[in-house]
């Protein structure tokens, strides 16, 4: 319509339309925006009143959502059916409806008039659509001075309807996005609660199994076969304990830095201790582990235990995902304000498509069904949480079939972590 006869609108009306268009971009709240639209209808089409309906899925009717201030309170309770109403016709056909002699037109939905003690003399209804989806209807009611609605009014109404369509569609999308993110947050919380409760409940009976099995192994004299069965029980129980620890550590991400036990510690010593705790596993798997530490012991302000868990998870993975005869290099470097720890292996590597996801909770490259390795896909996400709690950063580089390089950076002084971000940008 706009292209057909743009000169029939006065400058004042065009200015009002332009102003409304700008309002649309100003991100104002839904109610004031719709109010402006209906008030503008009266002003720009010289109408006694106007209304804005939205389709309501629960009732399959059109619901009044805005009308000029004088009538809006009453109107809000009203709904109009899609059949036998002017608004319904505009909505279902997607075309404007003009009725200039309402008293003799059967399409008028008389209940509204009766309820409001109002007489509809003329109506101009246009559908509100966005990308061919019908959202509602705009109506101008009772052209003042007994005049008839004309093409200029239609042009105004179609412009306002297209503004309303864009605005409403954006609002609907925003609402849907908000609801989706709230649902995700709730699910995340439920998952974390479940992990926290399950790991807590499993810990006690497992402690008893480990305790009693260790007692039996140390105290009683069994034959070799029974002894080896006891060892298997103990090994499996210890493995289960590791998994439970990983589960209980995953929900730490949402907690604040308050949970960090800060103290000064030697990173050289921490690395050596963790490497020593894996030396039996490395020997058994015939993997050579080399450690390259700074000559002068590097001291950090932070939580020794949490960083030992992070580093231990990287080292455990490098042993798990490297074939016998392979090599692992643990390297600690001193950078300005930071300590960098790298665990480099010449193992199976990680496919490029999986690399961006490996720090996600429960993500594993091999599917659970045909896994050759144990684990539940939490080790790296736990390591990430621990490192980020320190204001640090963790990342991985890898070439499938050649090996992987996992590194993390930790600020030497915890309080400087957030400020010294320049190195992360590099
Ligand atoms: P998992 O318990 O499965 O080891 P992680 O969170 O520790 O869980 O690791 C996630 C996935 O990343 C692993 O399942 C594995 O596919 C891959 N991965 C981690 N570290 C390495 C590595 N050093 N070499 C190859 N793949 C690795």
Query: Per-residue pLDDT tens for 219-245?
Result: 877 888 888 888 889 888 988 888 888
Share of the chain above pLDDT 90, in %: 46
| The predicted structure's pLDDT at residue 368 | 63
| The predicted structure's pLDDT at residue 75 | 62
| The predicted structure's pLDDT at residue 213 | 87
Pocket perturbation via mutation, ligand 1, pick of 244, 278, 352, 358 by most ligand atoms within 8 A of CB: 358
Whether residue 300 has pLDDT greater than 60: yes
Overall pTM surpassing 0.85 (yes/no): no
Using the mean position of ligand 1's atoms as its centre, give its distance from the Cα of residue 4 in Å: 65
| The predicted structure's pLDDT at residue 348 | 95
**Tokens 């009306």 — which residue?**
13
Q: Is the CB of 363 under 6 A from ligand 1?
A: yes
Using the mean position of ligand 1's atoms as its centre, give its distance from the Cα of residue 351 in Å: 11
Using the mean position of ligand 1's atoms as its centre, give its distance from the Cα of residue 310 in Å: 13
Q: Which residue has the higher pLDDT, 257 or 407?
A: 407
pLDDT in tens, 303-336: 998 899 999 999 999 999 999 999 999 999 999 9
| The predicted structure's pLDDT at residue 269 | 94
Q: Which of 333, 331, 266, 335 is nearest to 300 (CA)?
A: 266
Measured in degrees and rounded to the nearest 5, phi and psi for residue 324 equal: -55, 140
Neighbours of 77 (CB within 10 A): 9
d(CA 153, CA 9): 9
Buried b (16+ CB within 10 A) or exposed e, 371-410: eeeebebbbbbbbbbbbbbbbbbbebebeeeebbbbbbbb
Q: Is the CB of 345 under 6 A from ligand 1?
A: yes
Question: pLDDT grade, residue 425 (50/70/90)?
Answer: very low
d(CA 216, CA 222): 9
| The predicted structure's pLDDT at residue 414 | 62
| The predicted structure's pLDDT at residue 157 | 95
Pocket perturbation via mutation, ligand 1, pick of 364, 374, 400, 407 by most ligand atoms within 8 A of CB: 364
Nearest C-alpha to atom 14 of ligand 1 is from which residue?
364
């Amino acid at each position: 319509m706009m292209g057909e006869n743009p000169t029939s609108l006065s400058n004042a009306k065009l200015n009002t339309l332009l102003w409304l268009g700008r309002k649309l971009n100003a991100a104002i709240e839904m109610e004031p925006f719709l109010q402006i639209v209906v008030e503008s209808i009266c002003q720009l089409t010289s109408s006694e009143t106007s209304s804005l309906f939205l389709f309501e899925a629960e009732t399959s009717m059109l619901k009044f959502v805005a009308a000029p201030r004088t009538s809006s309170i009453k109107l809000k309770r009203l709904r109009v059916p899609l059949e036998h109403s002017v608004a319904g016709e505009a909505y279902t056909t997607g075309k404007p409806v003009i009725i200039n002699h309402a008293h003799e037109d059967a399409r008028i939905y008389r209940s509204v008039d009766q309820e409001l003690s109002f007489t509809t003399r003329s109506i101009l209804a246009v559908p509100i659509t966005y990308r061919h989806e019908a959202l509602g209807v705009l109506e101008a009611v009772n052209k003042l001075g007994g005049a008839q609605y004309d093409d200029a009014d239609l042009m105004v109404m179609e412009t306002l309807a297209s503004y309303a369509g864009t605005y409403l569609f954006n609002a609907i999308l925003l609402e849907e996005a908000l609801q989706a993110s709230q649902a995700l947050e709730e699910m995340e919380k439920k998952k974390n609660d479940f992990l926290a409760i399950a790991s807590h409940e499993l810990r006690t009976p497992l402690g008893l199994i480990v305790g009693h099995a260790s007692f039996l192994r140390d105290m009683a004299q069994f034959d070799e076969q029974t002894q080896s069965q006891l060892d298997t029980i103990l090994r499996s129980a210890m493995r289960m304990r590791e998994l439970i620890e990983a589960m209980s550590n995953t929900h730490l991400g949402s907690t604040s830095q308050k949970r960090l036990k800060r103290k000064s510690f030697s990173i050289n010593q921490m690395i050596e201790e963790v490497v020593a705790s894996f030396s039996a596993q490395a020997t058994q798997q015939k993997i050579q582990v080399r450690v390259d530490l700074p000559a002068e012991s590097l001291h950090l302000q932070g939580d020794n235990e949490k960083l030992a868990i992070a580093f231990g998870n990287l080292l455990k993975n490098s042993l798990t995902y490297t074939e016998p005869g392979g090599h692992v290099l643990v390297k600690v470097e001193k950078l300005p304000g930071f300590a960098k720890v790298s665990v480099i292996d010449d193992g199976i590597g990680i496919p490029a498509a999986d690399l961006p996801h490996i720090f996600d909770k429960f993500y594993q490259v091999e599917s659970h069904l045909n896994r050759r390795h144990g684990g539940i896909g939490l080790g790296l996400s736990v390591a990430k949480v621990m490192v980020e709690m320190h204001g640090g950063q963790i990342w991985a580089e890898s070439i499938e079939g050649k090996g992987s390089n996992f590194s993390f950076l930790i600020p030497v002084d915890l309080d400087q972590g957030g400020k010294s971000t320049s190195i992360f940008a590099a």
